[in-house]
């Protein structure tokens, strides 16, 4: 009986698909003459098809609508038209190809990723303007790559300064020049010629956020009215850069990214504090951030406990890898399916409704990655792998799990454990505990959209039962609040000001 029912369901499904109205799209891509001097012949070609005109198709992602096709192209002669075919070399987030696209209205765009960084929408890459089509039959479309993504620009303001330097440590590790950038937001009373020395706050952004996020603050009239008033604390903020060759390097040492932690502690911080009027005492040096920045600020406080006088970590990435969102990487067998064989969600809304699964997220990252896998996507899971994984024989980050099946390699999970902040704190509490007294503040929403509150709960349970010393960490769970909802620059600056008064 069951087999008969399954046959009927399968037959009906096939018939419905067969009756689905589809059309064929013949695509060609050219390179505009104006860009030929900037064009490089090897890269990864992206084709975006979106049904929404709310944003350019090239900004399609797991968080938005749109379909992405990508494949590597070698030795592309920019003088020649590239004719695209529906071959098996395309990676795609869609369940159809160019020969059987569902009929409808689409917005098309091409992007040529030719620079050293995996994320497509980074400076130096080339793209076409958006083309709108009504696809109701076989059509021939040519996309002309005519635009180039410019370098990020720092806002011009008397209180904002650019800081950049060539890192000897990273340049030696990568065997090429590695330029590190940061931005400084100075207090309104700052005077470079004065002998006054200021406390400093090192701010880490969310995943991949650049130093130019200071622009948003300067363009926020409410914040700047407060910042330039007598009420604002006189603290210098340094905005660190979340830009690295394999994604956000998280400001820590890793086998794939190189010595970013050493570069921060041994190079960037001394150079910044020499350039600006900063008090070089560890008692006046602080960390903060939200999401990825929340994890980094906490990690740096734990890894370099005497170098900083406090971290203000909001909605941090998983601080206990038994709760890598909803996956226990040490014990679970698969990151796509739980023990009940249900797809594991990666994101939910504030009411608990799943938004997309880890499997869908990884499928999207597989398309982004130049290796056709998520480990080179430059996105969240790819970035985690560049930080936490050992280097594989192919010189890429070793995958924690199979990109198609989700099966976990527990030998890699054991390597990841070096970056498990709970495990690190547990293993080193006798020596670490006294050094971080009064320095740990964590806050997260109890309805975090990425399930990050679960790991913070675990971290909190450990700290509550510590002895010799008894931890005085402040961990706050905000009911019915989501990811980074409680975070603000003003609030953190006021928290730092309070900490300064307490440790004067």
How far is the C-alpha of 25 from the C-alpha of 27, rounded, in Å? 6
What is the tens place of the pLDDT at every residue in 228-237?
A: 999 999 999 9
Per-residue pLDDT, 149:
96
**pTM, two decimal places:** 0.94
Per-residue pLDDT, 3:
45
Residue 11 pLDDT > 90? no
Domains of the chain (ranges plus CATH)?
23-148 (2.60.40), 160-320+420-502 (3.40.50.1820), 322-419 (no CATH)
Q: Give residue for tokens 């924690």.
A: 400
Per-residue pLDDT, 365:
96
Residue 285 pLDDT > 90? yes
Q: Identify whether the C-beta of residue 450 lies closer than 8 Å to the C-beta of residue 483.
A: yes
Q: Give residue for tokens 């309104």.
A: 188
Is the bond preceding residue 469 a cis peptide, omega within 30 degrees? yes
What is the tens place of the pLDDT at every residue in 234-264?
A: 999 999 999 999 999 999 999 999 999 999 9
What is the tens place of the pLDDT at every residue in 344-380?
A: 999 999 999 999 999 999 999 999 999 999 999 999 9
Q: Identify whether the C-beta of residue 487 lies closer than 8 Å to the C-beta of residue 315.
A: yes
User: Which has the minimum average pLDDT: 94-98, 283-287, 300-304?
Assistant: 94-98
Per-residue pLDDT, 156:
96
Write phi, then psi, for 380 (nearest 5 degrees): -60, -55
Instruction: Write the DSSP string, 43-75.
Output: EEEEEEEES--SS-GGG--TTS--EEEEEEE-S
Residue 17 pLDDT > 50? no
How far is the C-alpha of 283 from the C-alpha of 500, rounded, in Å? 8
Q: Identify whether the C-beta of residue 203 lies closer than 8 Å to the C-beta of residue 174.
A: no
How far is the C-alpha of 59 from the C-alpha of 127, rounded, in Å? 12
Residue closest to 116 by CA, chosen among 14, 298, 19, 247 = 247
Longest dimension (CA), the chain: 87
Per-residue pLDDT, 85:
82
Beta strand 139-148 with 126-128 is antiparallel
Residue closest to 199 by CA, chosen among 236, 147, 165, 149 = 236
Q: Give residue for tokens 């370098």.
A: 151
Q: Identify whether the C-beta of residue 331 lies closer than 8 Å to the C-beta of residue 468.
A: no
Beta strand 200-204 with 236-240 is parallel
Per-residue pLDDT, 15:
43
What is the tens place of the pLDDT at every residue in 460-498?
A: 999 999 999 999 999 999 999 999 999 999 999 999 999
Label residues 365-398 b or e (16+ Cβ within 10 Å = b): bbbbbbbbbbbbbbbbbbbbbbbbbbeeeeebbb
How far is the C-alpha of 412 from the C-alpha of 59, rounded, in Å? 32
Task: Give Cβ neighbours of residue 274 (< 8 Å, ≥ 6 apart).
Answer: none
Mean pLDDT, all residues of the chain: 94
Q: Identify whether the C-beta of residue 448 lies closer than 8 Å to the C-beta of residue 315.
A: yes
pLDDT band at 20 (very low <50, low <70, confident <90, very high): low
Task: List the structure tokens of 494.
Answer: 């006021």
pLDDT band at 117 (very low <50, low <70, confident <90, very high): confident
Per-residue pLDDT, 398:
98
What is the tens place of the pLDDT at every residue in 124-157?
A: 999 999 999 999 988 999 999 999 999 989 999 9
How many CB atoms are closer than 10 A to CB 12?
Answer: 10
How far is the C-alpha of 285 from the C-alpha of 298, rounded, in Å? 14
Q: Give residue for tokens 């309805």.
A: 447
Per-residue pLDDT, 13:
44
Which residue stretches of 148-220 are H helix?
Answer: 168-174, 214-218
What is the tens place of the pLDDT at every residue in 187-202?
A: 998 988 888 999 999 9
Q: Give residue for tokens 């300067």.
A: 218
Residue 186 pLDDT > 90? yes
Q: Give residue for tokens 């006798």.
A: 430
What is the tens place of the pLDDT at every residue in 287-326?
A: 999 999 999 999 999 999 999 999 999 999 999 999 999 9
Per-residue pLDDT, 75:
96
Instruction: Write the DSSP string, 320-378.
Output: SGGGBTTB-TTT-SBSSB-TTSPBPEEEE-TTS-EEEEHHHHHHHHHHH-TTSSGGGS-
Per-residue pLDDT, 10:
44
Which residue stretches of 150-220 are H helix?
Answer: 168-174, 214-218
Bridge-partner residues for 343, per DSSP? 337
Per-residue pLDDT, 64:
85
Write phi, then psi, for 75 (nearest 5 degrees): 55, 45
3-class DSSP assignment, residue 141: strand
């Amino acid at each position: 009986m069951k087999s008969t029912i399954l046959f009927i369901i399968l037959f009906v499904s096939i018939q419905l698909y067969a009756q689905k109205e589809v059309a064929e799209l013949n695509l060609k891509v050219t390179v505009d003459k104006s860009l030929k001097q900037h064009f490089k012949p090897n890269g990864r070609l992206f084709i975006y098809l979106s049904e929404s005109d709310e944003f350019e198709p090239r900004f399609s992602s797991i968080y938005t609508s749109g379909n992405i096709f990508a494949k590597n192209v070698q030795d592309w002669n920019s003088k020649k038209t590239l004719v695209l075919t529906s071959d098996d070399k395309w990676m795609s987030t869609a369940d159809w190809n160019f020969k059987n696209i569902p009929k409808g209205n689409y917005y098309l765009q091409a992007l040529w990723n030719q620079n050293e960084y995996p994320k497509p929408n980074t400076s130096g890459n080339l793209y076409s303007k958006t083309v709108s089509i009504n696809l109701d039959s076989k059509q021939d479309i040519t996309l002309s790559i005519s635009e180039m993504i410019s370098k990020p620009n720092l806002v011009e303001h008397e209180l904002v300064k650019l800081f950049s330097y060539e890192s000897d440590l990273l340049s030696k590790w990568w065997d090429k020049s590695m330029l590190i950038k940061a931005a400084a937001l100075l207090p309104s009373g700052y005077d470079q010629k004065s002998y006054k020395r200021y406390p400093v706050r090192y701010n880490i952004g969310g995943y991949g956020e650049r130093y130019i996020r200071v622009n948003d603050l300067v363009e926020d009239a409410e914040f700047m009215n407060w910042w330039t008033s007598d009420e604002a604390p006189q603290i210098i903020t340094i905005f660190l850069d979340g830009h690295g060759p394999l994604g956000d390097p998280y400001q820590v040492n890793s086998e794939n990214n190189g010595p970013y932690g050493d570069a921060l502690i041994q190079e960037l911080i001394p150079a910044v504090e020499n350039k600006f009027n900063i008090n070089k005492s560890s008692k006046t040096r602080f960390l903060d951030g939200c999401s990825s920045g929340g994890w980094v600020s906490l990690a740096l406080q734990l890894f370099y406990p005497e170098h900083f006088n406090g971290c203000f970590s909001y909605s941090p990435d998983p601080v206990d890898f038994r709760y890598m969102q909803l996956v226990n990487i040490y014990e679970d067998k698969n990151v796509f399916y739980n023990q009940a064989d249900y797809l594991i969600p990666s994101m939910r809304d504030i009411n608990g409704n799943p938004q997309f699964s880890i499997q869908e997220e990884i499928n999207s990252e597989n398309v982004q990655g130049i290796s056709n896998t998520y480990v080179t996507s430059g996105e969240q899971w790819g970035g985690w792998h560049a930080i936490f994984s050992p280097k594989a024989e192919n010189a890429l980050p070793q995958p924690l799990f199979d990109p198609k099946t989700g099966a976990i390699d527990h030998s890699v999970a054991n390597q990841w454990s070096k970056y498990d902040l709970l495990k690190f704190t547990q293993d080193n509490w006798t020596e670490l505990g006294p050094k971080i007294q009064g320095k740990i503040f964590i806050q997260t929403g109890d309805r975090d959209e990425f399930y990050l509150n679960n790991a913070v709960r675990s971290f909190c349970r450990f700290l509550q039962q510590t002895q010799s010393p008894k931890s005085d960490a402040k961990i706050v769970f905000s009911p019915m609040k989501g990811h980074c909802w409680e975070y603000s620059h003003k609030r953190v600056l006021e928290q730092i000001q309070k900490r300064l008064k307490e440790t004067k």
